[in-house]
Structure 1
Amino acid sequence: MLTYTTYSEAGGVGKTTLASNLADAHGQHDRDVLVIDLDPQNGSLTYLLGVDAPRDDSNADNIARHLIDRPKGAFEDLILETPFGFDLVPSHNMLENLADLLTRAASMAEDLGEEFERHDQLRQVLLNADIPEKYDTIVVDPPATAGPHLYNAIGATRSLVIPLEPTGKGMQSIEGLQDVVQGFEETVGVTVGVLAVVPNGVGRTTDQQHYLTRIRELGYDAPVAIGERSSLFEGCWDKQTTAFAYVNEYRSRKRDHEMETLEQLHELASHLEEVSA
């Protein structure tokens, strides 16, 4: 089974865009894919995919309620089909208060003499709903900042896929990645693997090629390096779709560099599937 969290230390490096397109590619590879959106921001994966979810309805059942063991229905009822061949558990505004909700739930459990591990809730929810029996690929997209959303994602998936902007700032983050992963392991209490680092927005300058070499020297797998594709990916956000659907539906002429990017996404998805086999 393939499970991973898309992670970046900062926003704006294509984390959510990568999650949506990898999910699409996995689905095209005849895999049963579930994507879980743990990001409370309005510009989250749920928005990108154009999914109509009741994120403003405080009375609606949602992922946050399940994480604090106060669901209003079955977890399966949260799962929505997307037009892209994979399923989605959408975000909800209640996730904005997840830290406080988990703290209160843990306090109540302690008062009742019950166990409640705040960073293991997502994994428990998925197991209790038999999700690993129904899907062979699970992708979780949390916010970039450290906190209960990210820790629950890591606790459930145990693996990271990391988009990286090949700049001096981006390389500074990758140089310290081992310490970051170790911190996750100590916080969550699990062993965490880095399945791939994905340079995104790569040009052909000497410095950027040096960055690619350095990533591999540090021992991280970088199967593909995606070029600067702002027109393609901004178009995805504008039309609320994946790159594959955007090229098929909104490009009257197939552009070689965009078709190359789609092939790279397939290559990356296949690599992740092989690693998990």
Structure 2
Amino acid sequence: MIPYTVWSEAGGVGKTTFTVNLARAHVEQGNRVLAIDMDPQDGGLTHHFGVDDDKANSEVDNLVLHMIGRPRGPFEEIVRTSEGVDIVPSHNMLGTLDELLTKAADLEEDTNPDPNYVFEKEKQLRRVLIDAGVPTEYDVILIDPPASEGQHLYNAVYATSNLLIPFEPSPKGEKSVDGLRDVIKGLEAELEDIDVGVLGAVPNKVKGTNVNQKYIALLEEEDIPIAPVTIGERGSMLGDAWDNQVSVYELDANDDYRDLRDYERPTLEKFDELAAYLEKQFETTEVKA
């Protein structure tokens, strides 16, 4: 199994776009893929794949209910499918995940007959996935949490142990580089019994300017592995994919949408290359599943 979390502490660097298109790229290579949207904000992965119709419905079962031990049905019934990607959609309850996990911890610890029992909040997503047999059902698991630290990120990292970091090589993206090793050490300290692996930082929205190269050099100074793939600035194509709630692969393949321009089509090949690179990482390195 190939589990990883797509994350950057800087917003607006293309985190969700990466998750959407990498999920589809893994499908293109014949993998069974589960994408989990842990971001409570509107307009994320759930919207991009067009499965956000129940996001505000308080009556439906959702991931948070499973994480706090109050599911309304089996895990597989909360999974939606789009473009061959199985998706655990975001739900508005994610907005209070920290609070709900704290309440669940208090209740479980108060009612458990074992006086040494501890409800570990950051391990609940992993528990849900293991209980549902996800590691044996899927080849690839991607998680898209919010940029901020908290139980969304902690649960995502604990469930996958691995990070892929989209990086915009510009002043806007500098925050995602500055002190990144300290952030990773902080996650390891918070989660205690895991080592966080960085599969790579991926330069995104690259224009080939000297400014871009300056910030890529800063990334190298942080001793962060850089993936051998860069994604160019393709705002028009990605914007059209977003507007139509599809990946760039579907934008290209479906005659209902516009044809890709010649200079845009290599972006699909870049995502294919990146997916293949990530899969190779799990073949050649010992990464926690």
- Tell me the amino acid that sits aligned with residue 272 of structure 2: H
Does residue 245 in structure 1 map to residue 211 in structure 2? no
Are the counterparts in 1 of residues 4 and 161 from structure 2 also a CA contact under 8 Å? Answer: yes
Please state how far the C-alpha of 1:99 moved relative to its aligned partner: 0.8
1:257 to 258, 263, 285: 263
Number of equivalenced pairs: 275
Separation in 1 of the partners of 2:183 and 2:258? 40
Q: Deviations over 1:124-182 (max 9, x none)?
A: 00001111010010001111111111110001000011111101342343131100100
1:93–1:172 Cα change, 3 Å = closer
2:198 to 194, 201, 209: 194
Please state how far the C-alpha of 1:52 moved relative to its aligned partner: 4.5
Report % sequence identity: 48
Name 2:207's counterpart in structure 1.
203
Separation in 2 of the partners of 1:214 and 1:144? 20
Please state how far the C-alpha of 1:207 moved relative to its aligned partner: 2.2
Separation in 2 of the partners of 1:275 and 1:24? 18
Separation in 1 of the partners of 2:218 and 2:92? 40
Are the counterparts in 2 of residues 161 and 194 from structure 1 also a CA contact under 8 Å? Answer: yes
Name structure 1 gaps, 5 residues minimum: none
Separation in 1 of the partners of 2:183 and 2:273? 27
Are the counterparts in 2 of residues 198 and 222 from structure 1 also a CA contact under 8 Å? Answer: yes
Deviates more, 1:166-175 or 1:89-98: 166-175
- Mapping for residues 48-87 of structure 1, pairs under 5 Å: 48-82=48-82, 84-87=83-86
Name structure 2 gaps, 5 residues minimum: 284-289
- Mapping for residues 33-52 of structure 1, pairs under 5 Å: 33-52=33-52
Are the counterparts in 2 of residues 53 and 90 from structure 1 also a CA contact under 8 Å? Answer: no
Q: Secondary structure at the residue paired with 2:11?
A: coil
- Mapping for residues 109-128 of structure 1, pairs under 5 Å: 109-113=108-112, 114-128=117-131
Deviates more, 1:201-210 or 1:257-266: 201-210
Per the normalisation by structure 2, the TM-score is 0.91
Per the normalisation by structure 1, the TM-score is 0.95
Does residue 129 in structure 1 map to residue 145 in structure 2? no
Are the counterparts in 2 of residues 215 and 222 from structure 1 also a CA contact under 8 Å? Answer: no
